[in-house]
Chain A
Amino acid sequence: MAETSLPLETTPAPGAGAGPRINGLVVGLACLALLVSVPFIAGALGDAFYVRVVTRIMIFAIMAISLDLVLGFGGMVCFGHAMFVGAAAYVVGIAGFHASSGDPLVLAGLQIPGSTNAFVVWPLAIATSALLALVFGAIALRTSGLYFIMITLAFAQMLYFVAVSAQTYGGVDGLTLDTVPTLGPIDTGNRQQLYWVVLVALVAVLLLCRRIVNSRFGLVLRASRFNETRLSAVGVAPYRYRLAAFVIAGAIAGVAGVLLASSQAFVSPADMSWLRSGELIVMVVLGGMATLYGPIIGAFFYLLAEFGLGHVTEHWQVVMGPLLVLVVLFGKGGLAGLVPAAWRGGAR
């Protein structure tokens, strides 16, 4: 990886520099106000579809933020991040499937009934993602460089093919969710109600990540990205920190996964393919790595492309390709880099 000087000298220590942080707070609140107003604007226009679009963007933003934790801040190029999203989504899907059919899931001699109670299914799904991240991370983090990329890709492919082989749950065609979980009185199948749930989740994730990144834990993580030798010289072993970050990121990805299942009312192996992982990486990089708002911007623009560019020309990839190259070669810090540093908020 590239050799650059440690950012420790240049980053303001947590607590210091009230100026930049207040500006970041203002920008954050402005965006929040905008997001809060979307359902009302859409209602006034009679175009409820926009609520769905923004919900999807916010869910992808959560995925991208969780990836940014390991990729942007931790410097780990994980090509399998989508598997944590997909695994959680599938847990929700499978629970719903058994709830609809009435037959319980038979696993290791136990008869597990289906459920559409979010208080039961969601923690289970998120815990599954975290566990997968722990197991895969523990093995993968022993390697580095291209080997790390390849082994994360391999794990993602393995999980993908397991999903494809599961013909009961649709296999490669995917699984339609006839009923989506209810969070107490909230029906996540109702797009308005889901919107608020997702918005709250996004804000919570942002605050959590901000906390993590600015803590001592976050400091070590960011340091491990740039200069491992110096870190070891100070007596800190990066492996445990990286693994912890990996698991946290996996859990947050799991949150995105359960929300995705409700939003789509559909889950398929495509939600955990290496291509989806690649798209997440593009979102993080385009938006601006190692920033907290960057992934949100990246998700917004990438999904805009998903909906819009296809209309402009069916050959949009011939533009997207070189655009990507140019952004990587010349765009320092992605789209978020266009915003003055004082406004960016979060770390760095």
Chain B
Amino acid sequence: MKLNSLIAATAAAAALLGGVAAQAQEQEVRIGLLTTLTGPLAPLGQHVRDGFNLAVEEAGGKLGGVTTKVVVEDDQLRPDVAVQLATKLAERDKIQILTGVIFSNVAMAALKPAVENKVFFISPNAGPSQLAGKQCSPWFYATAWQNDQPHEAMGAHLQASGVKKVYLVAPNYNAGKDAMRGFKGAYKGTIAGESYPSMNQLDFAAEISQIRAAKPDAVYVFLSGGMGVNFTKQYAQARLGAEIPMYSAFTIDAITLPAVGEAAVGTFQSNLWNADLKIPANEKFVAAFQKKYGYLPSNYAAQSYDTARLIGAALRLSGGKADDKKAFAAALRNAKFESVRGPFAFNSNNFPVGNFYLLETVKRAGGKVEQVTRKTILTNAKDNYFGDCNMAGL
């Protein structure tokens, strides 16, 4: 029967692959890139993958001088799929490092298989608060931020600017609630109102009407992907931007800007990176990225690029020993590399200490709409959770 021959064939294939994998362990570092490549937020995964691959290519295929094998998997933004794939990457592909994860729910789901298999989980984007605090793990590193930080940055900016009343909009899930809590931690003025639309909502007319009625001085928004694009367009159509300027994080970036266009002009964003940052490593990165891929990188690409270069620096520092867990962990914490975002160092909870910038979306003389860095809001900012972290040893 068909079933028999199929299983026999797969068993044979497994034998072949199993043999090959066992041989190559000495000379290479195997990195699992688990990211979101399908679905509405696929562009983010594409940026993450492309940023990582650029760094590997620049290193001649050998990060830190070690032959680098990258296995790319698509988590489809589904935690249940991520669990399966993280397990597969750890057990079948025998990766030493797991990276690429963009979303916090995926990160939390993939964490258990990674830790169980002693795989270093280096997240280029997701920075859940649990992993920064009470549940911090010696196996988990975040190279971008703790999720609340961009919100805290904007909150600090609005507080310092003397804005009195702010209306909040975020999606109705844990990360959205966390984000607004982070904002409120830094912003001490009045919260004029809060709306938490659900995840697949497309039409924000109702929320915009509520905002208009509440008469705040500013509106602070956290809505990713298509939600963010829709909201920004609809907000512009409602003509509220002049009286109630729109501030946001994770909402408008190099990925969503082409879809939003002029509707974003006059809005402000907080981010850890922008293409125009005057840092030599960054200028080289942006030019190389555009040359290789033909499009402008977003902060997701930059973060992923930095992650690869961090791994390379750590490999060099540890003498290429990706399998010596203690040595590699020490190397990760102490490695020095030129980040494209500015200064980079790990805090005691394996989360980064870095800068946050205020960006404004403007329209250039030729009609091009782009984000311009206006100022540094926070310098060497640490997250609020590291105090709760009692980092265990490996």
Contact = CB atoms under 8 A, between A and B. Distances in A.
A99 interface: no
B394 interface: no
A29 to B, nearest CB: 12
B7 A34 contact: yes
A56 B83 CA distance: 12
Interface residues of B, number: 37
A38 B4 CA distance: 12
Interface in B167-191: 173-175, 177
B212 interface: no
Contact of A56 (B14, B84, B109): B84
Interface string A23-59: 0000100110010001001100111111010001000
B110 to A, nearest CB: 10
Given A174-B105, A176-B109, A339-B1, A266 B83 contact: yes
B194 to A, nearest CB: 15
A314 B74 contact: yes
Given A264-B80, A264-B83, A266-B80, A176 B91 contact: no
B78 interface: yes
Interface stretch (A126-134, A144-152, A165-173): A165-173
A173 B79 contact: yes
Contact of A49 (B3, B7, B22, B91): B91
A266 B22 CA distance: 30
Contacts of B104: 173
Contacts of A173: 79, 104-105, 108-109, 173-175
Could you tell me the dominant secondary structure of chain B's interface residues?
A: helix
A47 B14 contact: yes
A164 B6 CA distance: 39
Interface in B142-199: 173-175, 177, 198-199
B4 A49 contact: no
Contact of B174 (A52, A171, A176, A300): A171
B38 interface: yes
A6 interface: no
B107 to A, nearest CB: 10
A62 interface: no
Contact of A27 (B1, B80, B173): B1
B18 A47 contact: yes
B92 interface: yes
Contacts of B79: 173-174, 266, 268, 270
Contact of B109 (A27, A42, A174): A174
Contacts of B173: 164, 171-173
Nearest to A54: B7
Given A174-B80, A265-B112, A310-B74, A49 B88 contact: yes
A66 B87 CA distance: 28
Given A48-B91, A270-B79, A314-B38, A176 B105 contact: no
Interface in B106-136: 108-109, 111-112
17 contacts: A30-B4, A47-B14, A52-B87, A52-B91, A174-B80, A174-B109, A176-B108, A264-B84, A265-B83, A268-B79, A270-B80, A297-B3, A306-B84, A310-B73, A314-B38, A339-B1, A343-B1
Interface of A: 27, 30-31, 34, 38, 41-42, 45-50, 52, 56, 164, 167, 170-174, 176, 264-266, 268, 270-271, 297, 300, 306-307, 310, 314, 335, 338-339, 343
Given A268-B109, A314-B74, 20 more contacts: A31-B3, A34-B3, A38-B7, A42-B14, A45-B14, A45-B15, A50-B14, A52-B91, A170-B174, A173-B173, A176-B112, A264-B80, A265-B112, A266-B80, A266-B112, A297-B2, A314-B37, A314-B38, A338-B2, A339-B1
